A and B are shown apart, each in its own frame.
Chain A
């Protein structure tokens, strides 16, 4: 046993020495170090892998290597506020696990000596990593997690640029209001169908609350079992209730089955407003894209906006060149959050955490400089961006187009959706 104990101790010591050695160079005064914490491996690695190049592009812009010819980005060129300090990125992987998010945030702060952290995509990981940043007094910028609870924890160092789930659902009801103004069609009744998962139940709950506030009468409130083998009775009840809008929340397989069953039972919804997920997945579009003509959904970003927004178009060109892929929702939001942070550091003129935090609080970025269709970026006292805006997209001819807000729209809303018998 003695031999064993000695060996065990040796393993501890060797490892501890390796772990304690800082892997980066000693931070110079002329360097801004930013920790980027994303899932790089594991089931959701795609988010991290696609976000990494866009963060690097943002860094190149600030370091003066790449050019994005719009005033907001020109201002950041060479980080004049810090007299040309260079940005160095430290990427870390959390694999989608909250405990790794915590450990990595801690390591980034105490060993890599980062001045700020960007991340983490998963709401659960953002929850633990931002907590570490709070304790150490390091600014934490979250570009994309959508759980509504995150900014309600009373944190001082947490900033979220993205809309959360309540904003997204609000967008649907804002759309109904605007649609009435524009086309004179009042949405009076809604039929809700949602599955029993967390996502479905939460979505149903928020929809009911907002419907009440907006004076929309929920005439059908139907929770169904995830991955049902038949949705006949559900569709029949929809048909009987015949609400002005059908608002489904479903994952992919159920979404496809709903459309097929509606066709079979000749249920003609006048308007369909889906909660993202299954109804906008590529497989859904491929399987029933034509039959689901006119289906609308909320979204944070849609690819057709790239041509409409010059900033997005310019960034897309850089992104495609670097990563061989078109810009989409994840990198678009990641970039927006990251540039917000760089803007704050530049205005702070310092890498002092408190000064960066104060600059973040004072953030005011006009909407026309953003990739996103938001009104701008301005944080409330909880660090939540209040100028966010979701968009509404509609499936037309087998492809999703932006139809709302009107000034971002690339197509008009199709309404009512043609009945099955009138389609070819």
Chain B
């Protein structure tokens, strides 16, 4: 309930911005958690789906005039399709090879977009910034509170889907694959199909985050929405919070985002990179003290809840 009242208490844009980033990264990490935490497939190419979401809604908005909300759904559909096409061959690989392949896919897609002149190439897409505030335009210049609630909605959707998976038959399939793929197959789990489903859900949610990002920043380019660093950051957030738990990714975001923003605001202007040093050191401290993720502090371990 505190989260709902936050914008009423904090009226300045910056604290709201930080909360929006917590929700967004929380949602992205929760989406990653479905494929990596529950299904055990360490995918490091989430930026592909994020970028697809961002580009699809932006291009449909600027070229066709379609409301970004419809564009967001278009982005989800496209991301799911791409996830299936890419996932099919890549899921034949296991462990490290799978992780490396997903990185390669991410790099290839970024290179493609940079060289694709028809959609702006490396120059990116400038969204019109002077449209009136409206829900349909997905632009709210007078108050950040709207973005806040949309991001919160996105997070709740990601958490809701995860919660539903945890309790469903599908969730058991996913965890079975994570624990031992061959044993799962021997028990009749269609491993290839289940992995693709986990990736599809994860990709769709990530694409929604991308569309939100594009509308929030109103400028996208391949460097900012398709970078490997984003895929890694999503992974870092989830791992820090606790992989394979419902609340872990959100906790990771709630710790990491303020840490990053706070150190930068306080020390970033010095130009001596002290903020990044402190940020890095704190991540190391947390990982050493709580290797299972911050969720360990609450006595929750991986796959808790209805998992075991």
Interface residues of A (CB under 8 A from B): 1, 3-4, 7-9, 11-13, 15-16, 18-20, 23, 40-41, 45, 48-49, 52, 90-93, 95, 97-100, 102-103, 106-107, 110-111, 124, 127-128, 131, 134-135, 147, 149, 153-154, 196-199, 201-202
Q: Which residues of A contact B114 (CB under 8 A)?
A: 197-198
A sample of 11 cross-chain residue pairs with beta-carbon separation below 8 angstroms, ordered by A number, consists of A9-B3, A12-B6, A15-B15, A16-B15, A40-B270, A41-B268, A52-B271, A100-B264, A106-B14, A128-B219, A198-B123
Asked if A19 contacts B261 (CB within 8 A), the reply is yes
The complex places the Cα of A18 from the Cα of B265 at a distance, in Å, of 10
Q: Which residues of A contact B19 (CB under 8 A)?
A: 12, 16
Indicate which residue in A3, A93, A102, A111 contacts B264 across the interface (CB closer than 8 Å). A93
Indicate which residue in A16, A95, A124 contacts B6 across the interface (CB closer than 8 Å). A16
CB-CB under 8 A for A19 and B262, given A40-B273, A93-B268, A111-B12: yes
B89 adjacent to chain A (CB < 8 Å) = no
Q: Which residues of A contact B213 (CB under 8 A)?
A: 99
CB-CB under 8 A for A124 and B273, given A154-B130, A197-B122: no
Indicate which residue in B129, B217, B218, B275 contacts A41 across the interface (CB closer than 8 Å). B275
Asked if A103 contacts B271 (CB within 8 A), the reply is no
B179 adjacent to chain A (CB < 8 Å) = no
The complex places the Cα of A196 from the Cα of B116 at a distance, in Å, of 11
Q: How far is the CB of B137 from chain A (nearest CB, A)?
A: 14
- In which size bucket is the chain B interface? 35 or more
Q: Which residues of A contact B13 (CB under 8 A)?
A: 106-107, 110
Q: Which residues of B contact A7 (CB under 8 A)?
A: 298
Q: Which residues of B contact A135 (CB under 8 A)?
A: 129, 141
B87 adjacent to chain A (CB < 8 Å) = no
A-B contact count (CB 8 A): 139
The complex places the Cα of A110 from the Cα of B17 at a distance, in Å, of 12
CB-CB under 8 A for A124 and B271, given A4-B298, A111-B12: no
Asked if A201 contacts B258 (CB within 8 A), the reply is no
Given contacts A41-B275, A149-B123, 18 further A-B contacts (CB under 8 A): A4-B251, A12-B19, A12-B22, A16-B10, A16-B19, A40-B272, A41-B268, A92-B269, A93-B269, A93-B275, A98-B219, A111-B12, A135-B141, A147-B123, A149-B126, A197-B122, A198-B121, A201-B121
Residues B247-265 near A (CB distance < 8 A): 247, 250-251, 254-255, 258, 261-262, 264-265
Asked if A103 contacts B14 (CB within 8 A), the reply is yes
Asked if A18 contacts B271 (CB within 8 A), the reply is no
Asked if A19 contacts B265 (CB within 8 A), the reply is yes
Asked if B12 contacts A97 (CB within 8 A), the reply is no
Q: Which residues of A contact B271 (CB under 8 A)?
A: 40-41, 45, 48-49, 52, 91, 93
